[in-house]
Amino acid sequence: MSNPLLSDWDTPFGIAPFDLISDEHYAPAFEIELQRHREKINAITSSQAVPDFTNTIEALEVAVVDLQKVLSVFFTVASADSNETREALQRDLSPKLAAHFSSITSDKALYKRVADCWMRRDSLAINEEQQRVLMLTHRWFLRSGASLTGAQDTRMQEIKARLAVLGTQFTQNLLSDERTWFLKLEESDLQGLPDFAIAAVHSAGQDKGLGPVVTTSRSIITPFLQFSPHRKLREKAYMAWVSRGANGGDTDNRSVAKEILALREERAQLLGYANFAQYKLETEMAKTPDSVRKLLLEVWQPAKARANSDAKILEDMLHADNIEGSLRPWDWHYYASKRRKTEHDIDDALLKPYLQLERMIEAAFACATRLFGLQFKALELPLYHSDCRAWEVTRDGQHLAVFIGDYFARDSKRSGAWCSAMRKQAMFPSAQTPVVINVCNFAKSEPSLLSFDDARTLFHEFGHALHHMLSNVTYESISGTAVARDFVELPSQLYEHWLELPEVLAEFATHTETGDPMPTEMLCKLLNAASFDTGFATVEYVASALVDLELHDGPAPVDVMQRQAEVLRDIGMPEAISMRHATPHFAHVFAGDGYASGYYSYMWSEVMDADAFAAFEEAGGAFDPERAKALEDNILSTGGSQDAQELYLAFRGKLPQVEALLKGRGLM
């Protein structure tokens, strides 16, 4: 029987034929495509022709296409709809992939050809985009250890293989903890919960064949912490949330994180860097750990001052409820919600019916239509899960992309929200349009209602999707979100601003039962409270970013939890607030290298997104067509074809200062 992963996909828009793909198809497809890729690499290195851009750099771009096609399908499914078979496949594949690509970057004959092209780049008669691809390719080989020889080369390959195993182990340990923990609730425990939260805990319980339960899904546990008057239950739920990955036994991630940090340090030192943070940040906009630390500490001080001031108010509310002692982390959401209702007259139970998932999807689409002329048409396609939905994206009648939305939490999906491309835009070796996926973890209920933070997440991930959809470059390696890590969050965070526009909410924030728009008074209160509790949100984020930085900027710690505690002590972490992501469940940092030493990038990008939205406001308003065109031409369509700083300067004409962020967060 033929393997659909290895066949040409005669499907609408070349979408993967998910209805034909079974788990049994993956392993043989991996083996075949890894071998084919190696053969294509051998053909490049065995060529007797003088190395040039076509026979070396473009040949490398072409060689990986078929392998990437298979891998993109598997990793999409493995992250969003995992099972025991897929987890076992991932454990088996990760070291194989690491070894495979290590063998390529350590191929001295191949590196010699790439280096030869780089040395002769001025005589190759290639355009600016090709110059950029050549530079990035050469840099990738160097930073992967291509110039290492002998024992150092061997050790580098061993480190990469082991890191791949550990990253997969970290992810699967975390998923296991998230999948297995739940807190059973009696009907009396539902007291104080609004209808939408009650519906969510019942739905979560039904999935497990039980009555109502609290799980570690953020869209379930956060409302529970906000509304449950049962302090003991809040504490149980909160401790389960912050203890993920640190519960002992086979799924404990503390020793995994320790080994990852040690191997990253060794890897960096083999390449001549003092530590991993210096290695990692060299190619980002920030460039150095000191630049990152400076930004974070500039924000930390005003954020901590605000948080401490807020904590005193919340603790007074706690004491007013005849509870002795200090405010604890499982109290913050509960009393902050009460305070918000008192000070801003905002009741989330009354607000949430106006934030329907369907209407927020429409809002995200409508803003893209007004800004960039995009149109969205629902498609009926077989996808990897029944929760998934698809749309064709067009402009002026021309097909641009397929967009897939996978919005609901389930046990088989890892936590968080993300955007990925199963196929990226490119013009070489032939024109291909992107297939883009947004994955979220919203509570599944009928109707599906979002918190305002959920709605912001939806807009955030759709901003990433636009970066893929509007990409217009030649080579896949620089397409879409293939940019500096501290630049990649600019389009996503910038797009969040359109959710907060009164005209957008007035049109799309409609009541689930009556269809009436959100009352003007409620809308004004919601927007006026935009910076409410910003001290808390900023502190929990910056603490995580600083811990990430300090874990990597210096000797690898002997005890990761002790080092985490030292960093928090040194910055004066408020006792009533925890890190947003503690080390044992910090998947951004330990599931792979992507955000390692780079969790700060959300804040680095926020400095730019605040300034970038100001550019719209200074022009003709949020939907100013000239600013929208400048955003597309200089940032959204350009991918990694130019240096990130150059792209931002082309859009804005100047670089922003941290004051834009502090003002946006209401911290100055």
CA distance 65 to 400: 20
CA distances from 589 to 80, 359, 593 (A): 19, 33, 6
How much is the CA Rg of the chain, to the nearest whole Å? 25
pLDDT average, residue stretch 424-452? 95
Residue 487 C-beta-side C-alpha neighbours within 13 Å: 27
Q: Given this model, what pLDDT does residue 1 score?
A: 66
Active site amino acids? 461
Whether residue 190 contacts residue 200, with contact meaning beta carbons closer than 8 Å, is answered with: no
Measured distance CA(480)–CA(459) in Å, rounded: 17
| Fold topology of 4-147 | Glutathione S-transferase Yfyf (Class Pi); Chain A, domain 2 (1.20.1050)
DSSP string computed for 373-436: --EEEEE----SSTT-EEEEEEETTEEEEEEEEEEE--TTS-SS-EEEEEE--B-SSS-B--EE
Checking if the pLDDT of 599 tops 80, the result is yes
List, as one string, the DSSP characters of 265-285. Answer: HHHHHHTT-SSHHHHHHTTSS
> What are the tokens at 407?
């919005």
Average the pLDDT over 392-400 and give the result.
Answer: 98
| Three-state secondary structure string covering 212-241 | CEECCCHHHHHHHHHHCCCHHHHHHHHHHH
Give the pairing type, strands 213-214 and 183-184: antiparallel
- Yes or no: say if 522 and 269 are a contact pair by the CB < 8 Å rule: no
Q: Check residue 483 and give its pLDDT.
A: 98
Distances (CA, A) of 608 to 23, 368, 500, 602: 43, 20, 18, 10
Which residues, including other chains, have CB under 8 Å from residue 5's CB and lie 6 or more apart? 21, 25, 26, 29, 69, 70, 73
CATH tag, 252-345+534-598: 1.10.1370.10
With beta carbons less than 8 A apart as the criterion, state whether 136 and 478 touch. yes
Average pLDDT over residues 104-110: 96
Tell me the per-residue pLDDT of 8-22, one tens digit each, with 9 for 90 and over: 999 999 999 999 999
Percent of residues, the chain, with pLDDT higher than 70: 100
0.85 exceeded by the pTM? yes
Residue 228 CB partners (closer than 8 Å, separation 6+): 189, 191, 192, 193, 234, 237, 334
* Cα distance between residue 291 and residue 277, in whole Å: 12
- With beta carbons less than 8 A apart as the criterion, state whether 404 and 388 touch: yes
**For residue 207, pLDDT beyond 90:** no
**Which 3 state secondary structure label does DSSP give 438?**
strand
The strand pairing partners of 213, in sequence order, are 184
Q: Let me know the angle formed at the C-alpha of 592 by 268 and 3, rounded to the nearest 5 degrees.
A: 125
Provide the pLDDT confidence category of residue 183 given band limits of 50, 70 and 90: very high
Mean pLDDT of the chain: 96
The pLDDT tens digits for 470-497 are 999 999 999 999 999 999 999 999 999 9
Q: Out of 81-90, 241-250, 445-454, 574-583, which region has the weakest mean confidence (pLDDT)?
A: 445-454
Total Cβ atoms within 10 A of residue 239: 11
CA 532, CA 251: separation in Å to the nearest integer? 37
Section 337-341 average pLDDT: 95
Per-residue pLDDT reduced to its tens digit, 271-318: 999 999 999 999 999 999 999 999 999 999 999 999 999 999 999 999
| 252-345+534-598 against 353-528+602-664: fold identical | yes
Check pLDDT > 90 for residue 668.
no
- 619 CB-near residues (< 8 Å, 6+ apart): 626, 627
Per the model's pLDDT, the better-predicted residue between 660 and 394 turns out to be 394
For the chain, what are the domain ranges?
Answer: 4-147, 182-244, 252-345+534-598, 353-528+602-664
Scan for tokens 């003991």, then name that residue: 232
- The b/e string for 116-145 (b: 16+ C-beta within 10 A; e otherwise) is ebbeeeeebebeebbebbbebbbeebbbbb
Residues counted in the chain:
668
Rounded to whole angstroms, the Cα distance separating 268 from 256 reads 18
Q: Is 283 helix (H, G, I), strand (E, B) or coil?
A: coil
The fold for domain 353-528+602-664 equals Neurolysin; domain 3 (1.10.1370)
Q: Distance of alpha carbon 427 from its chain centroid, rounded? A: 26
- 660 in Cβ contact with 610 (< 8 Å): yes
Band of residue 530 on the pLDDT scale cut at 50, 70, 90: confident
Whether the CB-CB separation of 396 and 410 falls below 8 Å is answered with no
- Spatial separation of the C-alpha atoms in residues 87 and 270, rounded to whole Å: 32
The SS3 call for residue 127 is: coil
- Tokens 């503690």 belong to 582
